[in-house]
Structure 1
Amino acid sequence: MNLKQKFTELLTNIGFEEKESQRNWSDLEKAYSWKSRHYHNLTHIRDMVECFEKYADQLQFPNEVLFAVFYHDYIYKSSKKDNELKSAEFALSILHENISFDKQLVFDAICATQQHQHNAIEDINWLIDFDLKILARDWNEYQIYFEQIRKEYRIYPDFLYKPGRAKALKHFLENDFIFQTDEFRHLYEEKARKNIEKEISLLT
């Protein structure tokens, strides 16, 4: 998949000029390509876009959801707790007035990727599930994922990181469901729980 082409097509469809689309792609590519990004990078975005393409016909506002996919981790610093809020604010800042778009939905969708809690808006639930699909990968791929996350948090020593990571993972298990849509629960819930339980056992 050509991620740049997918992005520029989206921006053109919602009312951006070609030069603007190119400039915004350059900014986006740069943001997701920082050396500190071992997981929250363009590979993660590509995986989410592939999910989006598979389930686009389930969405009421596909353009808004795809835009949120591209920008949901635009700002990412492992030491900060407001990455999603800052990313949502940035996403809205590039949407000028003549863009035909539900800006509130974009904002709320990006913010929802922080807590990954069930939302009254079903499109947002799909976005959350696209973001969390990594949790249900085969164990070898899941292991690569959590090793990449560890690298992003390398400023923290194990005695701080391990309990924090275990707490975050246990939070997923304490919820009735990890995934928010019936489709993803049916396909991935069991596998994701097994992976998370196995990772927790390695942390404790």
Structure 2
Amino acid sequence: MPGLENDLRELLHRHEVRADRIDELWQEVVKAHSSPGRHYHTLQHLEDLHAQLAEVRSALQDPDAVLLAIAYHDFIYRVSRKDNEERSAEVMRERMLPLGLPRPMVERAAEHIRATQRHEASADPDTDLFTDADLSILGSSRERYKLYTQQVRREYRRYPDLLYKPGRRKVLAHFLAMPHIFKTAHFRDRFEEQARLDLDAELKGAF
């Protein structure tokens, strides 16, 4: 059983959620991330994020809240909308609160999810680790980064290059203008240098 699924099931079981309801919730996550329009924002992205955050689990104040955020942060993903993060956070709240999970944990998870809209520094150190992990793809190997750009382009295929490329360049320039792309020492040390190389290469049209 993949790591995310196993950990999410364990979390819900710990809070005495019925096994059949756990099955329903997991299948809902699977379905949401397996729709035809998704190429990067898939279950594999969730597993990658889960693996990145497993490395810093001991530094997390509330690993359970982060786990919920991993599972639901891209639950709603429509490239034409600007409220995907807020809607994803609401789905998570609507699923978890009726099950009796602690409200502070659920609300903290919702804040983690909302933070992925801008990936800005937060007063919550768990949020910073979570959003840094979400950006870790930017610091992957050149081949993996190239594949990522292709996957994202396919998700935006409804938009012609005339519209897509200027918007993409704006995003790349925004990240490169930051003093630091990654907010935490762990992710900065591991990914900052390569992320800047990857972003600069894409901005210059290397692929």
Tell me the TM-score range normalised by the shorter chain.
Answer: over 0.9
The residue matched to 2:123 in structure 1 has which SS? Answer: coil
Residue 86 of structure 2: aligned partner: 85
State how 1:60-99 maps to structure 2 within 5 Å: 60-97=61-98, 98-99=100-101
Q: CA RMSD in A?
A: 1.5
Equivalent of 1:100 in 102, 105, 130: 102
Equivalenced residue count is 204
Q: Output the TM-score relative to the length of structure 2.
A: 0.94
- Give the Cα–Cα distance (whole angstroms) in 1 for the partners of residues 97 and 182 of structure 2: 33
Alpha-carbon distance, 1:89 to partner: 0.6
| Contact 2:97 2:106 survives alignment (8 Å) | no
SS at match of 1:159: helix
1:7 CA displacement: 2.3
Give the secondary structure class of the aligned counterpart of 1:95: helix
Give distance in 1, aligned partners of 2:114 and 2:48. Answer: 19
Instruction: Check conservation: 2:52, 2:133, Cα contact below 8 A.
Output: yes
Match of 2:5 in 1: 4
Change (3 A) 1:100 1:196: same
Counterpart amino acid of 1:85?
A: E
Q: Which moves more between the two structures, 186-195 or 153-162? A: 186-195
Alpha-carbon contact 1:15-1:99 (below 8 Å) kept = no
What corresponds to 1:47 in structure 2? 48
Deviation per CA, 1:128-156: give whole Å up to 9, x if none: 01101100111001000000000000000
> How many percent of aligned residue pairs carry the same amino acid?
38
Cα offsets for 1:36-87 (capped at 9, x unmatched) = 0000000000001111211111100000001101100000011111100100
Gaps of 5+ in 1: none
* Aligned-partner SS, 2:173: helix
In 2, Cα distance between the equivalents of 1:15 and 1:59?
23
**Match in the other structure for 2:112:** 109
Q: How much has 1:171 moved relative to structure 2? A: 1.1
The aligned runs of 1:41-190 (5 Å cut-off) are: 41-97=42-98, 98-101=100-103, 102-190=105-193
Instruction: Give the letter for the 1:111 counterpart.
Output: R
- In 1, the alpha carbon distance for the partners of 2:91 and 2:199 equals 32
Deviations 1:1-41 (A, max 9, x none): 61432321222224422111110001110000001000000
Superposition TM-score, scaled by structure 1 size: 0.95
Amino acid at match of 2:190: L
Structure 2: state its 5+ residue gaps: none
**Structure 1 pair 52–14 and aligned structure 2 pair: CA distance change class (3 A):** farther
